[in-house]
Every structure is written in structure tokens, then in C-alpha cells.
Amino acid sequence: MDKKTGIDQLVSLVAALRGENGCPWDRKQTVQSMTVYLLEETYELVEAINAGDPGAICEELGDVLFLIVFVAHLFREQGSFDISDVVSHIHEKMVRRHPHVFGENTLETAEEVKKQWNEIKNNEKSNSSNMSVLDSVPIGLPALMRAYRISERAAANGFDWNSLTGVMEKVQEEWQELKNELAKEPFANQTGNAVSMEFGDLLFALVNVARFARIHPETALADAIMKFKKRFMHMEMAIRAEGKTLSNVPQPEKDALWDKAKVLIF
């Protein structure tokens, strides 16, 4: 008997788990129920990558791969497709979208590749008159990631500022509009919650600043959150070392400890 390796092992494993004598939990799962676990494991993979831990990255990649094979198996049970169809489809698509590698085209820069990619993608989707170039951005993405992708798609199709200066002017405009709404009383009870709308407009403008600056807003915010957390924990430890609690320390003392933490953690 030939020994199965790689993906074949996972396919057989999932089949066993879903089989008549398999695991009650696995047999109970549906495509819809598995989306939650797929999202969770993907975030854990991203966290491992950001931490730079190869061992954890390997493990989390395995978890994500298992879930992909599991979901593909659920569709196989329905008679729709199996994991081999998934592999064939993505292989064909990647070859089709890289004519500069597998065809006669010659491209030198990443920007040229990106432009070509969008052109090929738009041509693939152009068979429907109701299709928007923005439709390929999943609604279920976290809002910050979705804002980046939406602005990226729009820019790739010629709807963009000419320079970072124009984007910064838009940020200033949105900031002023937010301040104007906040100056109204009572701003929290305005019809349609104008403050929320203006705040959202400001965030979206800042996402475009990130795009022009060639950074990802999701990554930048994640880094800022982690930096804040480390500084805050450093302040907490200093307060505990003095036998005090955070809530009972006067604000000026907390400000001084925060300034020290900023010097040590940046």
C-alpha cells in the first residue's frame, strides 16, 4: 500500500473524522459553523507572524490548512467540489494573472505588476454589467482592512488623489468637519449621528494617507495598540512596586510614570 503524504493525509484524516465512526463534534459541523474557526485561526496565524516565532507560525499554518481542507471536504460531501478542484483553480488563476512570468510580458517593477493584476482581474469580472470593481472586497472584513482595500481598488481604477498633499488636505477638511459637529450641543443625540459619520470620514481619509505612505493601517494600528499596552503595563508595574493601585494614584503621578515609560518603550 502506498503511503499517503502531504495534503492526501489531511484529506484522509478529515474523511475519517467526518465518517460514520468519526468524531461527533466534527460530524456536526457545517460550512457556516466553520467560518468562525477559520477566522480565529487566521488571526492566530497573523499574531504568530507578527511575533516572529517560526515554530508558532508553522503550527498556526497547519491549523489554517486543516480548516481549508475540512471546508473543502464539506463541499465534496455536497457534490460541489473537492480540494483538488480548489488547488487546480488557484493554480490556473495565478498562472493567468502572472503573464510576465508564464507568458511573453515583461515587467520590471511591483507597481507595474499591480497595475496588470488589476487589469486582468477587471477583465475577468467584466462579464456582468452590474459588477463593481469594489465587489471583490469582502463585506465581512474588519472595517479598517475593508477601508484600505476599497480605497486601493478605487485608486487602481483611476479614482485617486494626485499626491499625498491632496490626501493630507482632505484629512484637515474632515478633521475640521468633525470638530464642527463636536462643537454642537448635544452632539450625541443628533439626527443620523453626524458625529459618527464625520469621525468615519476622518478615519477613511487617514486610511488613504496610510496607502500613500505605503503602510497598512491595520498593521500600524496593531503596532500602536501593542506599544500602548507595553507602556501601560510598565506604568502598572511601577505603581504596584510602590504598594499602590492604579485607580488611587493621582493623575500627575500617572502622567510622570507614563512619560518614563515612553522613554523606555518606543
Q: Which residues of the chain have pLDDT under 70?
A: 1-5, 126-130, 185-192
* 68-107 residue pLDDT tens: 999 999 999 999 999 999 999 999 999 999 999 998 888 8
**What's the per-residue H, E or C state across 69-89?**
HHHHHHHHHHCCCCHHHHHHH
Question: Per-residue DSSP letters for 13-49?
Answer: HHHHHHSTTS-HHHHH--HHHHHHHHHHHHHHHHHHH
- The CATH classification number of 132-215 equals 1.10.287.1080
3-state secondary structure of 116: helix
Q: CATH topology for 7-95?
A: Helix Hairpins (1.10.287)
For residue 187, the model assigns a pLDDT of 57
Average pLDDT, rounded, for the chain: 89
* 200-227 residue pLDDT tens: 999 999 999 999 999 999 889 988 998 9
Could you tell me if 69 and 10 are in contact, meaning their C-beta atoms sit under 8 angstroms apart?
yes
Could you tell me if 245 and 169 are in contact, meaning their C-beta atoms sit under 8 angstroms apart?
no
Which is nearest to 231 in space by CA: 207, 260, 191, 202?
260
Q: What is the DSSP letter of 176?
A: H
